[in-house]
Amino acid sequence: MELLTRQPRLAATALLVPLLALASPGWLTLDGVAPCWAVLWLLPWALSDGPVSGAFTGLGLGLLLDGLHAGAVTQVPALMLLGWWWGRMGRRAPPIQRSFSLGLLALLGSALLGISLMLQWALLDWFGVREAAQLAGPVAGSTLERHGVNPALLALPGWRWDDLAGAGVQVLLAQTLITALLAPMLCSLQLLLWRQLGSGWRR
């Protein structure tokens, strides 16, 4: 946790993550989906600075990114878990720095983050459908009920099961792939920078 405690100003570079998520250059997308910038920043930071720092910065990043999106789902648990996991991995010898390893870790991290969001939406959908089914009687008035259409179910906002299975999987795959492709280049540079600046550099 040397970077975070001795040079906390470096953690301010995490502010680039929400700014990049907002700027989201159109040419740096796959099927219109931007890479997961949080994973690309958190992976080298956690590998260099350990599990506590990784989890803490994961918490901070998650709070910042959640602020940009309206809705009930959160990225905090997945980012904290990833920060902790990658931090523990970075403490073990030999240090992870090969392009393939970084790409693979970014791929797993991006997939885990996406799956955590999908699970939250699926749960919200499940609870929403149950609630709507209870409301169906009074809401679905005589004509609509006779035709078998339940407007309470149609009006439920958020990702539905069938949306997640269609467009959701597409977004997950595209984001995972573009993040994994960028990770070797971006994470290697950051890893080098953080290890040189911190005292966690191991030869």
Partner 1 sequence: MPAWRWLRFVRGTSLRRIAPWLLLLLALVAVRLSKGAVLADAYAFLTRPFWPGTAQAEWLRSARRVEDGVRLAQLERDNQRLRSLLDLQKENPNRVTAPVISRNGAGWWQQLLLGQGAISGIRAGQAVLGPGGLVGLVASVTPTTASVTLLTDPRSRVGVWVGRTQHHGLLTGIGTARPLLRFLEKDPQARPGDVVVTSPASTLVPPNLPVGVIQSIDANADPAPEAVVQLIAPISALDWVQVQVR
Interacting residues toward partner 1 by CB under 8 A: 8, 15, 18-19, 22-24, 26, 29, 31-34, 56, 59-60, 63-64, 66-71, 114, 117, 144, 147-151, 154-160, 162-163, 166-168, 170-171, 174-175
- From residue 158, how far is each of 66, 69, 188 by CA, in Å? 16, 13, 37
C-beta of 158: minimal distance to partner 1 in Å?
5
Residue type, 202: R
Rounded CA-CA distance 36/182 in Å is 10
What's the DSSP call for residue 158?
A: S
Please, which residue, 129 or 192, has the CB nearer to partner 1?
A: 129
Q: For 47-103, list the strands marked E by DSSP.
A: none
C-beta of 99: minimal distance to partner 1 in Å?
26
C-beta of 2: minimal distance to partner 1 in Å?
14
Please, which residue, 72 or 185, has the CB nearer to partner 1?
A: 72
List residues bridging with 35 in a β-sheet: none
Q: Which two tokens stand for residue 133?
A: 């089914």
Nearest Cα residue to 178 out of 33, 61, 5, 20? 33
C-beta of 36: minimal distance to partner 1 in Å?
10
C-beta of 57: minimal distance to partner 1 in Å?
10
**Residue 82 and residue 112 in contact, taking contact as beta carbons nearer than 8 Å:** yes
Please, which residue, 18 or 77, has the CB nearer to partner 1?
A: 18
Tokens 């602020």 correspond to: 67
Please, which residue, 107 or 115, has the CB nearer to partner 1?
A: 115
Please, which residue, 19 or 133, has the CB nearer to partner 1?
A: 19
Rounded CA-CA distance 191/196 in Å is 8
